[in-house]
Amino acid sequence: MGEIINLRQFRKAQERKQAERKAEANRLAFGRTKAEREMTEAAQTKERQRLDAHQLDGRDPAKPDAAKDD
């Protein structure tokens, strides 16, 4: 014979498992400290400035029509 289970308890256990999975996903996505976010932002800014400093001429690469000013 099968085991008798309480459906209310089963549903609550399932909801707790689902909530824990969602919490884990949120911790991975949003669980960074302010210092970590600032460090990442500073590194991105520094890399962007380094790339901008290595441009061959003063044209903005985002504007392809800027070279047609001749």
Instruction: Provide the residue ranges of all domains of the chain, joining segments of one domain with +.
Output: 8-54
**Which two structure tokens, joined as six digits, stand for 43?**
């590194």
Q: What confidence tier does 66 reach under pLDDT thresholds 50, 70, 90? A: low
E-strand ranges in 1-70 read none
Model confidence pLDDT, tens digit, residues 5-17: 899 999 999 999 9
This prediction has a pTM of: 0.44
At residue 46, the pLDDT reads: 97
At residue 12, what are phi and psi to the nearest 5 degrees?
A: -65, -40
Model confidence pLDDT, tens digit, residues 23-64: 999 988 888 889 998 999 999 999 999 999 988 876 666 776
Counts for the chain of helices (H) and strands (E), in that order? 2, 0
Q: Which of 16, 39, 19 is nearest to 27 (CA)?
A: 19
